[in-house]
């Protein structure tokens, strides 16, 4: 008999186990609603009911879809440069991608989080993490624009982020890699690792982020969190993995212990400790980048210090609770009473009771200690177990009728279960390998439990093949009846790692349509064509240029030589919705600009050859868009052609 | 003058005051790219609405820009209608029939001249087109004085607003007041 490769045999084992589980609890046949087309059809010209914000995973961006149609509405550039509109290329947006490591053109964006008021999504801001180089970004939902990016020091892999509290008081950011804090050159084997959990304070009115404090915690890998609400407000619950503290071959070495930990963090206790001077200022170096919609420019500030709080200086702040092995996150039900976590490598989801946890702490039901963190007795905190739920349970969201929906990666399905009885009531397959899932508001106190979206890692045979690189997918599932039914599946931008959705009117009600010209405080803006000019400052030439249907002013420019750096400060004088103008120069080592009505953006260009160089509008703005073009004369190096410029006349 | 006529002209002056608070007229434009419509409101002393966008669009057909600063009427009207506002109490106070009839004639003249003026502006904007117009779809573009009309791709409408209706009320009240006094004389 041929030897079956080990990997294959274990895969077969997993699959047969999955089948066994499924047949035990009812077959997971494909369930497409018979009137699926009707349910997802949104008439041309009509709006979708929900906005869904899908993270782009390795694309670094956020994509915005309408539900139930699955129509892609927009891709919001966040952590990755976007030549499509000049994000990260224009002089004004470059500072947004500054970090302590310099300018970074990319990150891995995983978890969008919608701001909340009283535990309900309020449609003001969307936050999202940069996983690779730890950062958190804030997108303003009145403009769908990234307005702020904050780097997280003492973190290495900002995966467990940016989950927030019920009134958007704080966002959390936990480190996925433990590393030496502060960093130093040491052998990996001998390195002493620490973990950090950061609390980012949000300004109530502006949404501006500031690291309030960082907890220094034992050096294991921290993962996704959800913060308490209602009765559990004041706490956040993080899962962790690698309690084995493996440093190599984690696939094996981080999978040995039967149980990992949930870290239950009392942030109100931490606040008190910080207020009473228990924190220490640690030297750090991290960037805080803020975009200003009145100057239409970002500024990047390097911050040099962060408040840290050690466990010994602030006791009773962190407790560990045993959890089935290798969990991927904890989720809190809408009442705020239960927090749940599934063990990715176990076939079980555990629900913990917040009340029981409080009692266990009071009664000192402590079974041990992990590097100074008390470990609470599992049985004393556990409220119920959803047994044999599926293989690889990852994440859970909730509806408004007391049900929970857990994604199961290995058995590739969504399992619906009842909170309180912990019984599985339904299951539906996902195509394929679901990671996160969403129910609109499903992480808040007010879920709109109409739909569920499964966010899948693998599509294989679902769509027309496109070579080796295939799209990833989202699947819309109807929750309106007892049986979950598949309605739609659609390919996504990048990896739809996690997503959140919100009723459309909560966002549409404060949409901005134009930037008001009279509020434009950009130092190089013009308020009308009369203000346009060309100014030389040494070897820099500043062109104050305007756009309006359908011309540039000026559109003939002379007086630039090789050796100069030319800054085109393009002000779009339009004050009409959906009339952006674009800008590009032939042969420029730059991406185009898209300039919104009332906005000013700057295009840097270094001419290399003498000649008469064309530029044009790149956004189809009007019937005479094709005619929206101009020339700039470039003279040879050292030739001092006088500055002249104009529109509609001979220079 | 009868008591009622005197009351009517005073009420008419009240309506004239209202004309300062509301637009007189609205011109609306619906185009394929503007399903939500563009509009401009003509007041006694200003023009509001989507003037900037309307001017941008009009420049394609060579229409001169509508610039409220350059319109003498908008500077003149506040005085004329300010005069009309004090006319009512004045007529009631003087309490002479012939004064009333002269006042009514003045009101009629103002109404008629306003309409003629509005029409001539519409005509001028629609006919004095720039030779350099990028788009020459029609020889001229005639907005309706009142009503709606399809002009190339644009559905144009022109209707009175609150201020305009108030002015109609003024005309009506003076007419009624004068007629009431005519009858008395014949008896």
Mind listing the domains of chain A with CATH numbers?
Answer: 10-508 (2.130.10.10), 517-646 (2.60.40.420)
3-state helix, strand, coil in chain A (%, to 5): 10, 45, 45
Instruction: Mark A83-108 as b/e (b = at least 16 C-beta within 10 Å).
Output: eebbbbbbbbbbbbbbbeeeebebbb
Q: DSSP readout, A117-146?
A: ETTEEEEEEEEEEETTTTEEEEEETTTTEE
CATH of residue B13: 1.20.140
Span A262-291, average pLDDT: 97
Owning domain of residue B27: 3-186
Residue A548: list chain B partners with CB under 8 A. 56
pLDDT in tens, B134-176: 999 898 999 999 999 999 999 999 999 999 999 999 999 999 9
Answer whether A452's CB lies under 8 Å from A397's CB: yes
pLDDT in tens, A467-479: 999 999 999 999 9
Tell which residue, A327, A480, A330, A342, has the closest CA to residue A403.
A480
Residue B183: per-residue pLDDT: 59
Nearest chain A residue to B52, by CA: A575
Q: Which residues contact A229 (CB under 8 A, 6 or more apart)?
A: A119, A165, A166, A332, A334, A336, A444, A445
Tell which residue, A445, A484, A508, A229, has the closest CA to residue A354.
A229
Nearest chain B residue to A578, by CA: B33
Percent of chain A with pLDDT over 70: 95
ipTM of the complex: 0.87
Instruction: Tell me: pLDDT of B35 over 50.
Output: yes
Q: Is residue A489 less than 8 Å (CB to CB) from chain B?
A: no
Three-class SS state of A85: coil
Q: Is residue A624 less than 8 Å (CB to CB) from chain B?
A: yes
Answer whether A356's CB lies under 8 Å from A373's CB: no
Helix axis angle for B3-19 and B162-186, nearest 10°, is 160
Answer whether A560's CB lies under 8 Å from A504's CB: no
Instruction: Tell me: pLDDT of A345 over 90.
Output: no
Residue B184: per-residue pLDDT: 52
Answer whether A573's CB lies under 8 Å from A528's CB: yes
Question: How many structural domains is chain B composed of?
Answer: 1
Gyration radius of chain A's alpha carbons: 27
The CA–CA distances, whole Å, from B25 to A214, A476, A596, B38, B47 equal 63, 50, 32, 14, 10
Tell which residue, A475, A595, A476, A463, has the closest CA to residue A93.
A595
End-to-end Cα distance, chain B: 14
Q: What is the dihedral of CA A202, A203, A206, A211, to 10 degrees?
A: -50
Residue B101: per-residue pLDDT: 95
Residue window 490-549, chain A: list those with CB within 8 Å of chain B.
548-549
Span A344-364, average pLDDT: 95
Answer whether B27's CB lies under 8 Å from B142's CB: no
The span from the CA of A325 to the CA of A348, in Å, is 10
Q: Which residue has the tokens 């779809």?
A: B137
pLDDT band at A361 (very low <50, low <70, confident <90, very high): very high
pLDDT band at A30 (very low <50, low <70, confident <90, very high): low
Q: Residue A238, Cα to own-chain centre: how many angstroms?
A: 18
Residue B134: list chain A partners with CB under 8 A. 623-624, 627
Q: Helical H runs in A261-403?
A: 267-275, 354-362, 378-381
What's phi and psi for B90, nearest 5 deg? -65, -50
Work out the minimum CA distance from A639 to partner chain B, whole angstroms. Answer: 37
Q: Which structure tokens are listed for B61?
A: 């057909």
DSSP state of A238: E
pLDDT in tens, A49-101: 999 999 999 999 999 999 999 999 999 999 999 999 999 999 999 999 999 99
Which residue of B50, B56, B60 is in closest CB contact with A548? B56
Tell which residue, A244, A247, A284, has the closest CA to residue A261.
A244
Q: Which residue has the tokens 């228990």?
A: A278
Which residue of B52, B53, B60 is in closest CB contact with A623? B60
Comparing B2 with A541, the larger pLDDT belongs to: A541
Three-class SS state of A555: coil
Three-class SS state of B90: helix
Residue B56: list chain A partners with CB under 8 A. 548-549, 574, 576
Span B107-116, average pLDDT: 96
**Average per-residue pLDDT in chain A?**
94
The span from the CA of A318 to the CA of A262, in Å, is 10
Contact A623 B135 (CB under 8 A): yes
Span A243-249, average pLDDT: 89
The span from the CA of A374 to the CA of A362, in Å, is 13
pLDDT band at A217 (very low <50, low <70, confident <90, very high): very high
Of the CA atoms within 13 Å of residue A353, those in its CB half-sphere come to 15
Contact A576 B52 (CB under 8 A): yes
């Amino acid at each position: 008999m041929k030897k079956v490769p080990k990997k294959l045999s274990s895969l077969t084992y997993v699959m047969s186990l999955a089948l066994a589980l499924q047949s035990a609890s009812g077959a997971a046949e494909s369930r497409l609603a018979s009137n699926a087309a009707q349910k997802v059809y949104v008439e041309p010209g009509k709006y979708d009911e929900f906005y869904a914000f899908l993270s782009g995973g390795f694309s670094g961006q956020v994509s915005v879809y309408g539900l139930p149609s699955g129509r892609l509405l927009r891709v919001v550039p966040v952590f990755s440069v976007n030549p499509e509109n000049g994000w990260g290329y224009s002089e004004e947006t470059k500072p947004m991608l500054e970090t302590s490591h310099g300018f970074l053109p990319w990150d891995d964006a995983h978890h969008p989080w919608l701001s909340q008021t009283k535990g309900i999504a309020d449609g003001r801001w969307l936050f999202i993490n940069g996983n690779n180089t730890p950062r958190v970004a804030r997108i303003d939902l009145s403009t769908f624009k990234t307005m702020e990016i904050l780097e997280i020091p003492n973190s290495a892999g900002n995966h467990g982020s940016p989950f927030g509290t019920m009134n958007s008081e704080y966002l959390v950011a936990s480190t996925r890699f433990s590393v030496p804090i502060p960093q130093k050159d040491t052998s990996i084997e001998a390195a002493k690792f620490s973990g950090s959990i950061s609390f980012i304070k949000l300004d109530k009115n502006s949404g501006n982020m500031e690291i309030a404090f960082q907890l220094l915690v034992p050096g294991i890998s921290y993962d996704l969190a959800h913060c308490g609400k209602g009765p559990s407000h004041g706490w956040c619950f993080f899962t962790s993995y690698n309690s084995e503290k493996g440093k190599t071959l984690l696939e094996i070495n981080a999978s040995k212990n039967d149980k990992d930990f949930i870290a239950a963090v009392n942030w109100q206790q931490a606040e008190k400790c910080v207020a009473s001077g228990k924190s220490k200022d640690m030297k750090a170096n991290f960037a805080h980048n803020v975009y200003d919609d009145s100057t239409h420019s970002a500024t990047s500030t390097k911050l040099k210090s962060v408040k840290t709080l050690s466990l010994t200086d602030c006791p009773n702040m962190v407790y560990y609770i045993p959890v089935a092995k290798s969990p991927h996150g904890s989720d809190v039900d809408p009442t705020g009473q239960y927090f749940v976590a599934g063990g990715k490598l176990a076939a079980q989801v555990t629900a913990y009771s917040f009340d029981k946890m409080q009692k266990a702490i009071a009664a000192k039901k402590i079974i041990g200690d992990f590097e100074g963190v008390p470990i609470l007795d599992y049985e004393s905190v556990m409220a119920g177990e959803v047994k044999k739920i599926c293989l690889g349970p990852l994440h859970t969201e909730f509806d408004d009728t007391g049900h929970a929906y857990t994604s199961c990666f290995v058995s590739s399905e969504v399992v619906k279960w009842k909170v309180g009885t912990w019984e599985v009531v339904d299951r539906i397959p996902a195509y394929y390998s679901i990671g996160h899932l969403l129910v609109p508001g499903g992480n808040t106190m007010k879920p709109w439990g109409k739909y569920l979206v499964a966010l899948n890692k693998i599509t294989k045979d679902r769509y027309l093949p496109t070579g080796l690189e295939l799209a990833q997918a989202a699947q819309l599932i109807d929750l309106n009846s007892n049986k979950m039914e598949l309605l739609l599946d659609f390919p996504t931008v990048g990896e739809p790692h996690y997503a959140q959705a919100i009723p459309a009117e909560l966002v549409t009600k404060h949409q901005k349509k134009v930037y008001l010209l009279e509020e434009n405080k950009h130092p190089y803006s013009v308020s009308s064509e009369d203000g346009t000019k060309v100014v030389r400052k040494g070897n820099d030439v500043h062109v104050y240029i305007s756009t309006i249907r359908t011309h540039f002013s000026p559109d003939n420019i002379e007086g630039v030589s090789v050796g100069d750096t030319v800054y085109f400060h393009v002000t779009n004088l339009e004050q009409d919705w959906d009339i952006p103008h674009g800008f590009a120069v032939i042969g420029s080592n730059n991406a185009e600009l898209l300039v919104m009505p009332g906005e000013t953006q700057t295009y840097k260009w270094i001419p290399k050859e003498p000649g008469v160089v064309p530029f044009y509008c790149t956004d189809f703005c009007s019937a005479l868009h094709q005619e929206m073009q101009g020339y700039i004369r470039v003279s040879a190096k050292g030739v001092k052609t006088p500055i002249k410029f104009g529109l509609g006349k001979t220079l | 003058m009868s008591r009622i006529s005197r009351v009517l002209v005073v009420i008419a002056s009240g309506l004239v005051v209202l004309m300062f608070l509301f637009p007189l007229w609205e011109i609306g434009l619906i185009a394929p790219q503007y399903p939500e419509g563009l509009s401009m409101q003509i007041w006694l002393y200003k023009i509001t609405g989507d003037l900037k966008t309307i001017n941008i669009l009009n420049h394609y057909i060579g229409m001169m820009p509508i610039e409220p600063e350059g319109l003498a009427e908008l500077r003149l009207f506040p005085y004329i209608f300010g005069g009309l506002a004090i006319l009512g109490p004045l007529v009631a106070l003087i309490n002479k029939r012939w004064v009333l009839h002269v006042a009514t004639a003045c009101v009629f003249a103002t109404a008629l001249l306003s309409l003629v003026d509005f029409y001539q502006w519409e005509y001028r904007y629609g006919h004095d087109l720039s030779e350099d117009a990028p788009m020459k779809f029609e020889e001229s573009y005639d907005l309706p004085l009142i009503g709606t009309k399809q002009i190339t791709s644009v559905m144009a409408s022109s209707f009175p607003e609150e201020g305009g209706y108030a002015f109609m009320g003024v005309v009506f009240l003076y007419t009624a007041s004068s007629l009431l006094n005519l009858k008395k004389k014949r008896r």
